[in-house]
Amino acid sequence: MGKISLYGLDASPPTRACLLTLKALELPFEYVFVNLLTKENFAEDYMKKNPQHTVPMLQDDDDYIWDSHAIMAYLVGKYAETDELYPKDLLQRAVVDQRMHFESGVIFEGALRRLTRPVLFLGGTTLPQANVDEVNEVYDFLETFLDNDFVAGDHLTIADFSIVSSISSLGVYLEHDPVKYPKTAAWLERLKELPYYEEANGSGATQFMQLIKSKNFTIVP
Ligand SMILES: N[C@@H](CCC(=O)N[C@@H](CS)C(=O)NCC(=O)O)C(=O)O
């Protein structure tokens, strides 16, 4: 087994998706803190490894991989004893992939980053109500996906890790209503029962929410 390092920080949802995967696989790894607020991700050395300057980034010996979804799929493919977390069956894999693209394009880019970037990195003091309202669209979709206990079927996959990392952070802008979204609420509780949940995702989600709340911004019509 190669030497694995994960570059990132607990407040970052996609970093946490990778932490959940590393913990689920019980892989030993070095965790390298990258401070986005002081722009460590724009350092020359980091940019050489990941020109997109994002976290998380995985180092496996001399290879570098970024984007949480690619990292999770790689870790399961290379190190897991079974394919349960990322099924090889084409149809099952397609469902996992669809959920992960949903996380990437709709939850993370479309909702979470759109709301976070202005207040965290651009010094913005207002957020449009319309952007906050769009969070409900994410909750609507997720609720319809949850026909089973997990987002891509009847067992845990990396799609759950991906989606829980951002859903557990989105609440800082708009909490999901457990009465309107009972399947989502039950799924979240199910994920919280994982023995490594708090360490890998829960505490980082709290950090993220505290960071956002520490910024003075108002939601405007
Ligand atoms: N889709 C990517 C998103 C990565 C991303 O945008 N990460 C944020 C932190 S949560 C970041 O690195 N922002 C700093 C930047 O883009 O320079 C993934 O899943 O890894």
Instruction: Give the DSSP per-residue string, 149-205.
Output: SBTTBSS--HHHHHHHHHHHHHTTTS---TTT-HHHHHHHHHHHTSTTHIIIIIHHH
Q: Which amino acid residue places its CA nearest to atom 12 of ligand 1?
A: 54
Distance between CA atoms of residues 22 and 17, nearest Å:
9
Q: Give all domains of the chain, ordered by start, each with its CATH number.
A: 4-79 (3.40.30.10), 90-220 (1.20.1050.10)
pLDDT score recorded for residue 216: 84
For a ligand 1 pocket test, name from 10, 20, 55, 208 the mutation site with the most ligand atoms within 8 angstroms of its C-beta.
55
Residues with Cβ within 8 Å of 177's Cβ and at least 6 positions away in sequence, in order, are none
Residue spans of the chain under pLDDT 50: none
Q: Are 151 and 145 in contact (CB under 8 A)?
A: yes
pLDDT score recorded for residue 1: 79
Closest by CA position to 33, among listed 52, 50, 53, 57: 57
Cα torsion 48, 52, 53, 57: sign: negative
55 pocket-lining for ligand 1 (C-beta < 6 Å): yes
CB-based burial, 69-85: b 16+ in 10 Å, e otherwise: bebbbbbbeebbeeeeb
Distance between CA atoms of residues 53 and 56, nearest Å:
9
13 CA closest ligand 1 atom index: 10
Distance between CA atoms of residues 71 and 185, nearest Å:
27
Tokens read off for 157: 């996959």
Distance 179 CA to ligand 1 centre (A): 32
Distance between CA atoms of residues 99 and 116, nearest Å:
22
14 pocket-lining for ligand 1 (C-beta < 6 Å): yes
Is 37 strand, coil or helix?
Answer: coil
For residue 198, CA distances in Å to 16, 53, 85 come to 10, 27, 19
pLDDT score recorded for residue 43: 98
Residues with Cβ within 8 Å of 158's Cβ and at least 6 positions away in sequence, in order, are 17, 21, 69, 72, 73, 76, 85, 86, 96, 100
For a ligand 1 pocket test, name from 54, 75, 162, 211 the mutation site with the most ligand atoms within 8 angstroms of its C-beta.
54
Report the chain's C-alpha Rg in angstroms: 17
pLDDT score recorded for residue 2: 81
56 CA closest ligand 1 atom index: 20
